[in-house]
Amino acid sequence: MDNFEIIWLFFWVVLAALTPGIVVLLFLRNSLMKSYEDIFGQKVIESWQKIISAVIVIASLSGGLSLYQLERYIFPAELANQPLRKLNGDSITFEAVRALLDSANAVIHVLLVLLITSVIVLLILKVKGLVTSNKTDN
């Protein structure tokens, strides 16, 4: 097996794993932060923005990058006596798509946890009277 193919596999899998996180940061960061800014204020959101961005990228990478899946192309399975998997363009594409889907799943979970947490915090603040409604009655 050629080392270049292994490096190529790792490159495409890492790129596919980072893609959903970066896409979310590029397209949704402004709208997410703007909606939270109205609720929590500018100072809180400026500090949260870096933390949330890091969490999204880390979740994207860790959700999509499975070293166990990749090592099957380098080392044969010991207990199953399976032959070494062939590494070609199809297998690289398969692993990149798998990494992309797993990564998107991880990013969706992070956004869902963020939404649930912010709703709970908002409800607590409303009950305590620290957040007022922005609606004006006519």
Number of domains the chain contains: 1
Does 135 map to a domain? no
Q: What is the pTM of this model?
A: 0.78
Does 17 map to a domain? yes
Does 138 map to a domain? no
Does 134 map to a domain? no
Does 91 map to a domain? yes
Could you report the per-residue pLDDT of 64-89, keeping only the tens digit for each?
998 877 887 777 666 666 666 778 88
SS (H, E, C) the chain: CCHHHHHHHHHHHHHHHHHHHHHHHHHHHHHHHHHHHHHHCHHHHHHHHHHHHHHHHHHHHHHHCCHHHHHCCCCCCCCCCCCCCCCCHHHHHHHHHHHHHHHHHHHHHHHHHHHHHHHHHHHHHHHHCCCCCCCCCC
Does 43 map to a domain? yes
Q: What is the extent of the structural domain holding 38?
A: 3-128
Choose from 2-11, 30-39, 122-131 the range with maximum mean pLDDT. Answer: 2-11
